[in-house]
Structure 1
Amino acid sequence: MLQLLDGLAAEIDANQIATCVYAIHDPNEGRLVYASAGHLPILVRDEDGTVQRADEPTGPPLGTGGWIHASGSIALPPGSTAVLYTDGLVERRDEDLDEGIAALERALSGATGTPQVVCDRLVRSAGVTPDHDDDVAVLVLQHPARKGAEAELFRNAALELLGGVEAAPRARAFASGVLTSWRFPAELHDLGVLATSELVANSLQHGTPPMRLRLRRTDRRLIIEVTDGDDHLPRRRRAEPGDESGRGIAIVATIASNWGSRRTPGGGKAVWCEFVLQKP
């Protein structure tokens, strides 16, 4: 993603550069995976108020051209809050930038409540007023700690795919058992098993070990994901009538609400699909 934006930035104005951070939250693993093009560090506050700072940027600013931006990660477990922000929030002409970030860390340590409440408190603590002389953007992300009946709506299960082609029937049986235990209706159960079968078959044919199947449900979605060690992302294509393969991704795209793929930190890829759940 950042490589594409880097090229776009150079095309727009070769004399300008811009910073950017792109992040994906994985609630199953409790981590925030990010790539940073010269951007300020992400801050994460855990439940007890301890604030951690993400590592240094994983690449130079956009518009510098020709660089490979690596990925980093930082823990974001249930009950924690992540903050992404621009330099207008922490940079002042009369003080060092690190002092501004440290002040933001202190403000975040005592900030609780909804994302909007946390955001408002951080902006006030930085002394930002309507006549502030720089643009300010703040994004607050929370991973809620869910309990009781609400927690039952947020479930996940995983299976390591071992043994070559023998992994396919095991994956289908695993998905069927999980979806049954989550009490999905028969139609969604069958679609989920079919999507699992096609994603696993695609990985077995085109991917490399290690391979893993993950199923996750939220209060709004069922997400099915397969990861493997090959970093070539799949594309949907039209199979000819005589082709014996090549329809898997097309089937997934047809039956699911959405699908996609991404490269994973350390190499490999994840291919996923999701089904939007009907409101009770």
Structure 2
Amino acid sequence: TALVIGDVMGRGVRAAAVMGQLRTAVRAYARLDLPPHEVLQLLDGLATEIDPSQIATCVYAVHDPNEGRLVYASAGHLPILVRDEHGAIHRAPEPTGPPLGTGGWLHTSDTIPLAPGSTAVLYTDGLVERRDADIDEGLHQLEAALAGATGSPKVVCDRLMRALGVTETHDDDVAVLVLQHPARVGGDAELFRNAALDLLGGVEAAPRARAFASGVLTSWRFPPDLHDLGVLAASELVANSLQHGTPPMRLRLRRTDRRLIIEVTDGDDHLPRRRRADAGDEAGRGIAIIATIASSWGSRRTPGGGKSVWCEFALPTT
């Protein structure tokens, strides 16, 4: 899941127009599954083209619940705050690059832990900045408020706004985004599962992957049609990795309350693309099959120089 928040300097029609274009662009860039700092670099170039006199701060973060961390890049924006599963407050390191529109191309990605039971908060400076006080005072006040703010993300947002004195007459615009990674306990944990298989390559890798996927999906009690589609998707993704990727290779299946996600990672960073295979071609149909049977699919580069190719299926509602 990608999360983004930003703030264009200034007010009025010009600032609103710049923000609207950046918002549209970031939604498109997010679909490319790029690392956070590459998204900010693209936005930086676009902001310079739109209006060189306008700059904006922004933070773009990606959360993978199975990794237990938030990977982010910050273009001059205020730090992400995280309350961990023990209630301690952590502040992400300082911005990892200059504001958008400066043309710096110096952004990097960083990480902050986000284990089950944690809450992360992204916000604009209107929440913590006051004319009569240093901004660090506002940040400390926000940290204290987050330490005692429990409940759903909406409840946490409301409590933080009240604690920082934001009312309808507030003289600055405020945006707050709350992400929770809940700890799954009891019967609820049955809906969130994860299984992985390391693939050694060779001719035995594909049948091993199919058998593994079939066994996992059977143990998760998926209906026959979804079971068969999942096994087919795993087989095609593994075959694609065997043909075009390099070791190490890994198959991972994840179940949430709404989705089945099948993912294959390998050591090659060349991203696949969907293409039309001619009648005589012996290859080139795997990604087309995935795109046809799955609800969605994509690929992204992973830290260390490899890639991940994934697809997901929407689970039937009950």
Q: Distance in 2 between matches of 1:267 and 1:68?
A: 19
Match status 1:143 vs 2:174? no
What is the total number of aligned residue pairs between the two structures?
280
Q: d(CA) in 1 for partners of 2:269 and 2:68? A: 23
User: Residue in 1 aligned with 2:221?
Assistant: 183
How far apart are the structure 2 equivalents of 1:168 and 1:95?
Answer: 62
Partner in structure 1 of residue 91 of structure 2? 53
CA contact under 8 A between 1:72 and 1:265: conserved in structure 2?
no
Match of 1:20 in 2: 58
How far 1:254 sits from its partner (Å)?
Answer: 0.4
* Deviation beyond 6 Å, 4+ runs, structure 1: none
1:76 corresponds to 2:84: no
**Larger mean Cα displacement after TM superposition, 116-125 or 232-241:** 232-241
* 1:247 Cα offset (Å): 1.3
Residues 14-50 of structure 1: CA deviation (Å, up to 9, x unaligned): 1221121222211112211222222211111123310
- Give the counterpart of 1:216 among 251, 254, 258: 254
SS at match of 1:212: strand
TM-superposed CA distance for 1:228, in Å, is 2.2
Deviations 1:129-166 (A, max 9, x none): 21222111000011111222111111111112223443
Give the 3 Å change call, closer, same or farther, for CA 71–161 of structure 1 in structure 2.
Answer: farther
Contact 1:165/1:204, CA 8 A, preserved across alignment: no
Report the CA distance between 1:262 and its aligned residue: 2.1
Deviation larger for 254-263 or 223-232: 223-232
Amino acid at match of 1:88: G
Report the AA paired with residue 156 of structure 1.
N
Aligned match of 1:167: 205
Q: Partner letter of residue 92 of structure 1?
A: R
Counterpart residue type for residue 156 of structure 2: V
Q: Which residue of 2 aligns with 1:35?
A: 73
Q: Indicate yes or no: 2:232 matched with 1:194.
A: yes
- Measure the CA separation in 1 of the matches of 2:212 and 2:69: 25
| 2:149 maps to which of 103, 111, 116 | 111
> Which structure 2 residue ranges, 5 or more long, are not aligned?
1-38
Distance 1:233 1:101 in 2: 41
Secondary structure of the residue aligned to 1:203 is helix
Equivalent residue number for residue 15 of structure 2: none
TM-score, scaled relative to structure 2: 0.83
Whole-angstrom distance in 1 between the partners of 2:42 and 2:202: 35
Q: Distance in 2 between matches of 1:227 and 1:68?
A: 28
Letter in 2 for 1:33: V
Q: TM-score, normalised by structure 1?
A: 0.94
Q: Name the counterpart of 1:4.
A: 42
Deviation at 1:68, TM superposition (A): 4.9
Looking at structure 2, the residues matched to 166 and 20 of structure 1 have their Cα atoms a distance apart, in angstroms, of 47
Given the alignment, which residue of 117, 134, 141 partners 1:96?
134
Letter in 2 for 1:84: L
From 237, 240, 245, the equivalent of 2:283 is: 245
CA contact (8 A) 2:98 2:104 kept: no
Q: Is the 8 A contact 2:85 2:115 kept in 1?
A: no
| Structure 1: runs of 5 or more not aligned | none
Q: Which one of 152, 158, 169 corresponds to residue 190 of structure 2? A: 152
- Asked if 2 retains the 8 angstrom alpha-carbon contact of 1:209 and 1:229, the reply is yes
**SS at 1:101's partner residue?**
helix
Helix, strand or coil at the partner of 2:298? strand
2:56 is paired with a residue of what secondary structure?
A: coil
